[in-house]
A and B are shown apart, each in its own frame.
Chain A
Amino acid sequence: MREEIIVSGRNNPMVDPNLHIWHWQIPLYLFLGGMAAGILIIAALYYIRGREKDYRTAVRITPFLTPFLLVLGLLALFIDLRHKLFFWQLYTNIKLQSPMSWGAWTLMVITPVAFIWCALHIRDIFPQWDWKYSWLKALEEFFNKYKKALAWVMLIYGIILGIYTGILLSAFNARPLWNTSILGPLFLASGLSAGAASTLILSRNSEERKQFARIDLVMIGIELFLIIHMFMGFLASTQVQIEAAQMFLGGAYTTSFWVFVILLGLVIPGVLEIMELRKLHIPAFVPALMVIFGSIMLRFIIVYAGQMSRWLY
């Protein structure tokens, strides 16, 4: 029999008895950033492929959500910092090995790009809009001229943002649950799925809705595949990763993960979307909201459970 105790006592706040250094801010940001990335990737992709007319909402309307999502996400990140006055240090350093540094710089690029993209389409929301100042009009003309280049920047940085929200966690080998490269593509797929869902809610065009229900379905399929793949990887790995997987296979997070993420967030909206594509009348916002809810829950559960998983010690 083995008994192992810290006899000197150790109760460092936010570290003991289990790590809980990250609270709601980080998973909320991971969701908001991922959803914004999904919306921008889809908008940029359809614009570059010249499908703007067919998918008008996705290219011109849904991106109006992204400045709000990104600013809220940045705010959440800022609230999470404990040494707030020094936040500018993020932008006086580039650390290639730190995903957080990558993320800070990616946000620095994609946030202004999202604002510019919305500014170029402002007349879709407010038809009477007037920029008033001549330099703003000149700026609009400039970006309109190079809109394709802007779309490429948006696409590439959108993909980096979407993947990085997962890589951020997988870089921590101290937390076996996070330490899987599947999290990058999983969070990207989840972000794309939430992005497609937001167009599904906003679109008034039945052809566009059908297309986005299809995109959502494909993403749900990919997510389910990646999640199964992730658990296969864990169960075939070291003891610490087997234990990380056990948290979802009978452990503390079993119910919340399988009910909120898998059932309510993926399987049921997937079934509803199939029914919708088969011409059964389903209000489009129901599966779409469920997908977004599942996407939030995935981040929260992975971030919280990850902090509970640790090396044998």
Chain B
Amino acid sequence: MRYAMAVDTRKCVGCSDCVVACQTENAVPIGYCRDWVVEVTDGTYPQLEMEIRSERCNHCANAPCVRCCPTGASHIVDGGIVVVTKTDCIGCGACIASCPYDARYPHPKGYVDKCTFCEHRIRNGMKPSCVEVCPTKCLYFGDLHDPNSSVSLVLKRRKYKTLIPEAGTDPQLYFLI
């Protein structure tokens, strides 16, 4: 099993519902976020092109945060999801420094926190909360090893990119372009 997410940058309108849904679902402390929306504008008016990306942890297949963790608190669970076990985490910050996407943050309680693909939801057959609430249905989530999952199907017919693959992390967040 290999969970992955695809983000349709042509459908996303940048409403930030995914961000709020995540903060609510995961009780993210005020002032913090596990996902965020990037808006890229190219060109000069009136020739403008826009790309909007809902970003979060890339759940890298070659995750530097897992490699650098001295206690094994950062680890990869079934489906390739990168998670942190709070009670194993010493809060040293090595994983935060090792993430080229700056997708992790130190929780005010001391441990390191990050996107979990809403593991507690997907293990119960639900979608991650960001995917669930997206009003434009621009987020696709599923198992890459299942050829009929929504993410496999959309990646089969659309052009896509990943973010800074040259950092050598093998990111699993796909952006449809």
Contact = CB atoms under 8 A, between A and B. Distances in A.
A310 B100 CA distance: 7
A128 interface: no
B70 A7 contact: no
B87 to A, nearest CB: 6
Given A1-B44, A83-B110, A171 B90 contact: no
Given A6-B37, A82-B91, A87-B90, A16 B106 contact: no
A175 B41 CA distance: 26
Contacts of B44: 1
Nearest to B41: A3
Contacts of A8: 14, 16, 19, 33, 35-37
B100 A1 contact: no
Count class of interface residues, chain B: 35 or more
Contacts of B37: 6-8
With most chain B CB atoms within 10 A of its CB, the pick from A14, A307, A311 is A311
A11 B31 contact: yes
B78 interface: no
A100 interface: yes
B91 A81 contact: yes
A90 B99 CA distance: 21
Contact of B97 (A9, A92, A97, A172): A172
Contact of A90 (B52, B90, B97, B111): B90
B40 interface: yes
With most chain A CB atoms within 10 A of its CB, the pick from B38, B70, B101 is B70
B105 A90 contact: no
Contacts of B96: 14-15, 19, 21
Nearest to A239: B166
Contacts of A171: 67-68, 98
Contact of A15 (B14, B39, B104): B104
With most chain A CB atoms within 10 A of its CB, the pick from B44, B96, B101 is B96
Contacts of A92: 71
A104 B110 CA distance: 20
A254 interface: no
Given A93-B72, A174-B64, A10 B100 contact: no
Contacts of A134: none
A22 interface: yes
With most chain B CB atoms within 10 A of its CB, the pick from A87, A93, A174, A238 is A174
Nearest to B17: A8
A107 to B, nearest CB: 12
Interface in B98-138: 98-102, 104-106, 109-111
Contact of B167 (A14, A21, A173): A173
B94 interface: yes
B166 to A, nearest CB: 7
Interface string A88-115: 0110110101111101100000000000
B70 A90 contact: yes
A4 B40 contact: yes
B72 A15 contact: no
A312 B31 CA distance: 25
Contacts of B92: 80-82, 100
A173 B100 contact: yes
A82 B93 contact: yes
A115 to B, nearest CB: 24
Contacts of B153: none
Given A19-B102, A86-B71, A90-B70, 10 more contacts: A12-B32, A82-B92, A82-B110, A84-B90, A86-B90, A90-B71, A98-B70, A98-B94, A175-B97, A310-B102
28 contacts: A1-B44, A2-B41, A4-B39, A7-B38, A8-B37, A10-B33, A12-B102, A13-B106, A14-B105, A14-B106, A15-B96, A80-B93, A81-B91, A82-B90, A83-B111, A84-B110, A87-B90, A89-B73, A89-B88, A89-B90, A98-B68, A104-B70, A173-B100, A173-B167, A174-B99, A175-B97, A313-B100, A313-B163
